[in-house]
Structure 1
Amino acid sequence: MKLNIMSTTPVEQIKERLSITDVALSYIKLEKAGSNYKARCPFHNERTPSFFISPARGTYHCFGCNRGGDIFSFVEEIEGVDFASALKTLADKAGVELRAVDPKLKSEYERLYSVLEEATRFFENSLGANPSAKEYLAKRGLNVGTIADWRLGYADTNWSTLYDVLKRKGFTDEEIEKAGLSVLGNRGHYDRFRGRIMFPLSNTIGRVVGFSGRLFDAPSKGEAAKYVNTPETPLYHKSSVLYGYDKAKRAMLQSNTAILVEGQVDLLMAHQAGTFNTVALSGTALTADHLQMIKRFSDSLIVALDGDDAGLNASERAFRLAISLGIDVKVARLPKDVDPADLIAKDKDEWNKVIKEAHHIVDFVLSSIRERKLDEPAFRREVGKRVIPYIAEISNKIDQAHFVGKVANELKVAEEHVWEEVKKLPNMPAIEDTIKGIEKPNISRRNKIRATIAGITSWQEGIKNPLIDPKTLRERYDALARTYDLMEIDLVPPEEKEKMILVFENNYNDEKKLSREVDELFINLELDCLEEKFERTMRKLKEMEEKGEIEKTGELFKECQEISKSINNLKNSRH
């Protein structure tokens, strides 16, 4: 029997070629659990695996945070991207060609990605035409392959070279500025990056979201900042970008270890030396978001900052949080005043030795305090201030007891005294309090449903032979909007509609399938509104009971019964 491949959607073709197990294995460690697989959830912090994958159904579900779905939602969640980006990523992986999208319908994000890609190519070409910049990089130890693979570039000293090129390519002033590439001055727009070696900064799937520019040719006497980074933009958020993460995550997964360095050249030299599990801070502080990214692929973090205590001290709180997440934090002891790039350029074997002999952070800090030759009271104060907080965050009781014993021995005191100090300290806040937690329901869920209905309506209105009458869709939505005071469907942002159009164009080509999906959307939207109304009425009921308003309480009780009945009827309508 011949399969009619042309009749299947790209989504279906991708699912035929890629299993949920194959996709998940490229991100997390899986253990066999009967006919299924289990793992520690990559979306929230946990010590006992509650994340399960069903190869037969092609789905995943976490019983800890209640997230679940298929390969597309998995990539959306773990990469922090929308469906369109997940679709493109998996299509490339599966070798499936997506239908062309009219450039006019490209979302704002896609336009920003495009302008950044054009800027990257421009900087690459400019570097190729600048012998002195290439010579500088070669002197730092970077070879031609590394420079090409990491797409290094050069921004010349002129005021608006890049801006002029991008304008000729059809990008608007707003797009160029919004991407962080230009600045609006008294005389118009000028290039943010001038006279700099350019390092493209990528998101988790390797798309350029910004740049870090290292001063090479000072364009004017007044500009002396050694590094200039892209400011916060719709695509670039410094607290959630680690330089090299997109290339390092597979090696991090395989080795169960991440190496953290400070700068871009440190990172490039580390990868050139074969330590492919290295990521860099790139001029930003280590954040909870960064730690959560590292935790997805590894349980161990080796810190290889410059050969002094400054970087370590500045990131003390972050390392405490890392330990509280169950990450084993170690410190590589670099020679004083030597950064990783210089060490690797001088002796690659010495770099590998330093990484291999990295010490647990408690041992490292204890040793560094001891080397300062403090008197006994000052030594005890420093240990209490800098070492005890790390021990307090260790969740493994055996490891914790080991370090308590070590500190007691160093201080020449009984272990119970150290335990007392450990127990006095509050633990770090839960990771959910420190970074973006799970998306709250109700309003965000309702917005998503509304955007989906708006996207389907726009899609059907824009094609010659619609699968569903768009007028009927509008009438159904308007009826709910009047009842529950919802926002008009035409007020949904265009970029949200375009995203949904892409989703449904590539996922639905059958009238029955689309009709079922639409019915489910309207049921979910009304259920969401009714459940919120029920909660609101229950709060009023409780308030009236407390005030002793018997008549009002009775009315509200009846209203709650009616809403509950409507909810049950709506749920039963699915069967």
Structure 2
Amino acid sequence: MARTSRDAIAEIKAKLSMVDLARRYLELRPMGNRLVAPCPFHQETKPSFSVNADEGTYYCFGCQAAGDIFDFYGRMNGMDFRESLEALAEETGVELPKFQKGNDFAPKQVSHKQEMMKMHEIATHHFRQNLQKSDIVRKYVQERQIAPETLERFGIGFSSDSWQALADIFKRSGFDLDIAAECGLLMKSKNGRYYDRFRNRLMFPIRDVNGRTIAFGGRVIPALDDGESAKYLNTNGTPIYKKSQQLFGLDVARRSVTAQKNIMITEGYMDVLTLYQFGYTNAVACLGTSFPEEQVKRITELSKNVELLFDGDNPGREAAFKACGKLLVKGISCKVVLFPPEDDIDSLLKGKGKELFENLRENRTEGLSFCIQTLKKRSPKDAIEWSREFLGQIEMPELFQPMASKLALGLGIDEAELRLGVVEQKKTQNTRMNFQANGQAKTASKKKTMDAEILTVASRYPHRLQFLQEMGADLILESPNAKAYWDKLLQYSEEEILAFLNDSEKTFWVKCRSVPPRDNEEGELQAIAHLIQTKQKKSYVQSVVAAVRESGEDSQKAYLRALYAQGRNNV
């Protein structure tokens, strides 16, 4: 019998438990019959994230995130289901089936991404070979004091001055050159000819958490600089790479970050390499200084303690200021290591030594204090406006008061003046959100209560679907979403169904099966059977009443006799 995706999913789950996977990222502790931790998907301090070892699922009582090992792995690493399946299959040694037309997992899209991944793998190997062949590049690497082990660990390479070297490799290997151009490895001229995008540059592979190259950063080598090229040339956004979601060096640093419960954030590739060589293996680069929300989210998922190591010049300090603001409102503890204006990490460690670097770290500035120092150099009006906007973005209520007080004290302004408008604004927002949520909940409750009750029991006991069908449960479902969910319950087994549910369905499934304990199967089934019978009786009565209103006198008597008989039969 041909191997199916369902077989692979079941085999992976048999080899890797939800508990073991979650422990790579979280400190789980027992609470009753559950394992709990603060949720990695939203900012909090309470252990609302719960792992159900028996079911192989997780559920957050705060943000309602739910799923199995594939959902969890995907959320933590920015992957879709198919990518998570591939990664965990490789890790567990499970063979995936070959995908053909009509497969459940969109084979054309998967094939497209797989081809891009393979081309990046080939390009990484090609660039690494080039580095070994170039005396100029090897001399530059030695001058920059990059150790051979570091080059190997981070996969550093070199793109030669050839316009066709990589393009020819792809062509000989049968790859689609349009796809190579789409993922940023090649460029296409106006006359339709393909050529290598990266030339005469030291190449830094940007890799996902599993060490697979998904993009490149290329740095000009001074001895080969034509004076017209930008110092850095980076891959733009592609189907396999979103700059705002990635961190350079995370594949190397992840284990150290987890072990040390601390992450160092730097500005550039060379900073990460230098820190690594000096024993700081928990460092990553943020691929720019804009610090978008997706990157902040990724960082906060990795650690609640962040150390910012940006350059000592004005742009570096401004970047640190912006980063502090975005991290602090999420409840993240962040500190800023202040470098002398003339130094960066690379020049300081290699030129002045690790002892001075450690002294700077010992005297690092707490994030909010650094923001206050920065604000003092601005006009009072700008400082107050920034502070009010900052306070308005704080997500954890318990942080609002202490931060407001510290800002007011540090800036030398009246706290009441600083808070003016912020509290009222937050109250208005909360009231509006609660009103909308309550209104929506009441409307949904009226329309979907019966659907939810039926589907709850069906989810808790899917092996009794036939019993529910015989009662007419599927015929009573009203909403299209409820009917679609019912069809999935019929189609997929308990072990595989999560792979085919959308996010809201996953949350519903996991929640239904987690609380309360499923130890009263017959009682719950009989209760829902009674509800179904009551619903059917009500529908029958409504139908008869409607018919009576529209019929003549003789027919009305017949309908009323039928209605009376129905009532006696149900006494």
For 1:321, which of 315, 326, 343 is the aligned residue? 326
Number of paired residues? 434
1:110-148 CA deviation, whole Å, 9 max, x = no partner? 111001100000000001111221222232232110100
- 1:66-111 per-residue CA deviation (whole Å, 9 max, x = no partner) reads 33222222212322223343233323433x2415648997711111
The residue aligned with 1:310 is 315
Q: Does 1:148 align with 2:152?
A: yes
Q: CA deviation at 1:343?
A: 1.6
Q: Is contact 2:304–2:333 with CA below 8 Å preserved after alignment?
A: yes
Q: Contact (CA 8 Å) 2:325, 2:371: kept in 1 or not?
A: no
TM-score by length of 1: 0.66
Contact 1:157 1:217 in 2 (8 A): no
Partners of 1:115 and 1:175 within 8 A in 2: no
Alignment match of 2:282 (pick from 268, 277, 296): 277
The alpha carbon displacement at 1:322 in A equals 2.0
Distance 2:493 2:15 in 1: 25
Q: Which residue of 2 aligns with 1:119?
A: 123
Specify whether residues 425 and 232 from structure 1 end up closer, same or farther in structure 2 by C-alpha distance, changes over 3 A only.
same
Of structures 1 and 2, the larger Rg is shown by: 2
1:75 aligns with 2:64: no
The CA distance in 1 between the partners of 2:184 and 2:275, in whole Å, is 28
CA distance in structure 2 between the partners assigned to 1:389 and 1:524 by the alignment: 39
**1:153-552 equivalent positions in 2, closer than 5 A:** 153-187=157-191, 188-216=193-221, 221=226, 223-283=228-288, 285-314=290-319, 316-346=321-351, 347-368=353-374, 380-381=380-381, 383-384=383-384, 389-390=389-390, 393=393, 401=401, 404-410=404-410, 412=412, 414-420=414-420
SS of the equivalent of 1:43 reads: coil
Give the drift of 1:214.
0.3
Report the 3-state secondary structure (helix = DSSP H, G, I; strand = E; otherwise coil) of the residue aligned with 2:218.
strand
Q: Would you say the 8 A contact 1:126–1:154 is kept in 2?
A: yes
Deviations 1:217-274 (A, max 9, x none): 6878474200000122111111111111222233223333221110000011112222
Q: Contact 1:40–1:48 at 8 Å: present in 2 too?
A: yes
Q: How many Å apart are 1:345 and its aligned residue?
A: 1.6
Which residue pairs with 1:26 in the alignment?
24
C-alpha RMSD over aligned residues:
3.8
2:61 — aligned with what?
63
- CA 1:387–1:255 in 2, change beyond 3 Å: closer, same or farther? farther
2:568 corresponds to which residue? none
In the alignment, is the contact (CA less than 8 A) between 2:289 and 2:319 conserved in 1?
A: no
**CA offsets per residue over residues 376-429 of structure 1, 9 Å max, x none?**
xx66456435566556655667765555555555555554444448658879x9
* Deviation sequence 1:460-489 (CA, Å, 0-9, x none): xxxxxxxxxxxxxxxxxxxxxxxx9xxxxx
Contact 2:300–2:332 (8 Å) recurs in 1: yes
The 2-side partners of 1:388 and 1:520 are apart by: 47
Tell me, in whole angstroms, the C-alpha distance in 2 between the residues paired with 1:398 and 1:72. 34
Tell me, yes or no, if the aligned pair for 2:321 and 2:374 is still in contact at 8 Å. no
CA distance in 2, matches of 1:114, 1:158: 21
Indicate how the Cα distance of structure 1 residues 408 and 421 shifts in structure 2: closer, same or farther if over 3 A, else same. farther
Structure 1 stretch displaced more, 216-225 or 115-124? 216-225
In structure 2, what residue type is equivalent to 1:279? V
Partner of 2:142: 138
Aligned residues: percent identity? 29
Q: What's the CA shift for 1:180?
A: 0.6
Q: How does 1:28-47 map to 2 (within 5 A)?
A: 28-47=26-45
Q: CA deviation at 1:332?
A: 0.8
1:103–1:36 Cα change, 3 Å:
same
Contact 2:162 2:199 in 1 (8 A): yes
Partner of 2:528: none
| SS in structure 2 of the partner of residue 107 of structure 1 | helix
Residues 134-172 of structure 1: CA deviation (Å, up to 9, x unaligned): 222232232110100100000011212111122112212
Residue aligned with 1:283, SS: coil
Unaligned runs of 5+ in 2: 1-5, 102-106, 434-479, 481-489, 506-545, 548-571
- Amino acid in the other structure paired with 1:224: S
Give the AA of the match of 1:142.
I
Mean alpha-carbon deviation: is it higher for 317-326 or for 97-106? 97-106
In structure 2, the CA distance between the partners of 1:334 and 1:70, relative to structure 1 (3 Å rule), is: same
Q: Distance in 1 between matches of 2:25 and 2:274?
A: 24
Given that 1:320 and 1:389 are in contact with CA atoms closer than 8 Å, whether structure 2 keeps it comes out as no
Letter of the 1:112 counterpart:
M
- Cα pair 1:27 1:297 within 8 Å, conserved: yes
Counterpart pick for 1:98 among 95, 99, 105: 95
SS of the equivalent of 1:276 reads: coil
Change in CA separation of 1:314 and 1:151 when aligned onto 2, cut-off 3 Å: same
**Residue type of the partner of 2:195?**
Y
SS for the counterpart of 2:239 is coil
Amino acid paired to 1:98: E
Instruction: Please state whether the residue corresponding to 1:177 is helix, strand or coil.
Output: helix
